[in-house]
Amino acid sequence: MKTITVQGMHCGACEKLIRMELDDAGLESFVDSVEIESGEKKGIFCLKEGISEEQVEKIKQIINGMEGYSTE
């Protein structure tokens, strides 16, 4: 399973904001689950099987364009 680690996340509201942005781009359906590690201020987005590298890169681009968040 592919994952994207997002720095700057610390709560459920962070997850909701990112999911809303991904939904606007038609990409939220590729997110299987999200684990938030609030102590480390990061979240791990687990992506569904079958997602293309192009779609993964687009998700990273959207998240990196949001103030306060960055992907690894």
Residues in the chain: 72
pLDDT tens, residue order, the chain (72 aa): 899 999 999 999 999 999 999 999 999 999 999 999 989 999 999 999 999 999 999 999 999 999 999 998
Residue-number span of the structural domain to which 14 is assigned: 3-71
Residue in this structure with the two tokens 């990196």, named with its chain if needed: 64
Longest alpha-carbon distance in the chain: 31
* Cα–Cα dist 57/54, whole Å: 5
Residue 31: CATH number of its domain: 3.30.70.100
- Please give the model's pTM, rounded to 2 decimal places: 0.94
pLDDT tens figures, 15-32: 999 999 999 999 999 999
Q: Return the H-helix or E-strand segment holding 17.
A: helix 12-24
* pLDDT value at residue 72: 84
If DSSP codes are grouped into helix, strand and coil, which group holds residue 43?
A: strand
